[in-house]
Amino acid sequence: MGLAGAALLAAGVLVVAPSAVSGGGPLAAATDCPDVEVIFARGTSEPPGVGRVGQALVDSLREQTGLNIDAYGVNYPAGRLQLGGGDGANDTISRVKSVVQTCPNTKIVLGGYSQGASVMDIVAGVPVGGITWGNALPAQYADHVVALATFGNIADRSGTPISSQSQLLGSKTIDVCNPSDPICHAGPGNQWSGHTEGYVPVYTDQAARFIAARLLAGQPHLPGDSQPQPT
């Protein structure tokens, strides 16, 4: 090989080597991992994805923290008969396991609205009405979950919210109930619009503040951090 050929070969190594390193090594895997992944279960009859409430929560979290946040919409039917909660819980757990395996340093936030909140009841090990289908999150994955937020959870109406009932995730949970929402609040003055329209942006912003404090400070509970109380 002449000097010209050697020079070309060396140049080829210089060009190819960096791309080879960045294509599949640990550095690339770390770079592709977000700071946070929000796993959110949408409400009844919403199209696949995180839904209106979930998207508002994610948007508020991005604004409040400045972190790189990915969103995953729980894959479950969300039909009117509400028979897919177990499927949603199992998909949530599968997604948590996947994130932990591929991106162990990514912080996980769970959430659900309406029927999606019932999905999170199952994940947290406190299903409403003693529902037996679907599984609770295995305890070894709980440390990867920084926070959980539910909106319009029927468990609140019966006085069994995740925040007070779940040994697994209760201390990390904010259960948000709009006082005019008949799904989660049994008091007077309830109206259906309180459930369908009452959470964005006031309550999604409040839940985002609760979650952001934990993402940024890593504290299980901050003094003076309050949850909305039904009136």
3-state secondary structure of 45: coil
What are the CA-CA distances from residue 215 to residues 42, 139, 140, 162, 189 (Å)? Answer: 22, 20, 20, 20, 36
- Going from N- to C-terminal start, the domains of the chain cover 32-217
Type of residue found at 109: V
- Predicted local confidence at residue 81, as pLDDT: 87
- Residues in Cβ contact with 158 at an 8 Å cutoff, skipping those fewer than 6 apart: 128
DSSP readout, 107-131?
Answer: EEEEEEETHHHHHHHHHTT--GGG-
- Predicted local confidence at residue 134, as pLDDT: 85
Q: Is 143 a catalytic residue?
A: no
Longest dimension (CA), the chain: 90
What are the CA-CA distances from residue 222 to residues 55, 204, 214 (Å)? Answer: 25, 18, 8
pLDDT tens for 74-111 read 999 999 988 899 999 999 999 999 999 999 999 999 99
- Residues in Cβ contact with 211 at an 8 Å cutoff, skipping those fewer than 6 apart: 57, 61, 109, 146, 147, 149, 174
Low-confidence ranges of the chain (pLDDT < 70): 1-31, 130-132, 218-231
Q: Which of 87, 91, 156, 181 is catalytic?
A: 181
Q: Is 181 a catalytic residue?
A: yes
- Residues in Cβ contact with 116 at an 8 Å cutoff, skipping those fewer than 6 apart: 40, 41, 42, 43, 51, 54, 74, 78, 88
Neighbours of 82 (CB within 10 A): 15
- Predicted local confidence at residue 30, as pLDDT: 52
Q: Is 114 a catalytic residue?
A: yes
- Predicted local confidence at residue 125, as pLDDT: 94
- Topology given in CATH for the domain delimited by 32-217: Rossmann fold (3.40.50)
- Predicted local confidence at residue 131, as pLDDT: 61
pLDDT tens for 185-197 read 987 778 989 999 9
Tell which residue, 147, 8, 125, 123, has the closest CA to residue 69: 147
What are the CA-CA distances from residue 192 to residues 56, 178, 189 (Å)? Answer: 20, 11, 10
> Is the distance from CB of 175 to CB of 162 less than 8 angstroms?
yes
Q: Which of 114, 118, 166, 180 is catalytic?
A: 114
- Predicted local confidence at residue 24, as pLDDT: 38
- Predicted local confidence at residue 211, as pLDDT: 98
- Predicted local confidence at residue 156, as pLDDT: 95
Question: Cis omega (within 30 of 0) on the bond before 220?
Answer: no
Tell which residue, 221, 216, 222, has the closest CA to residue 107: 216
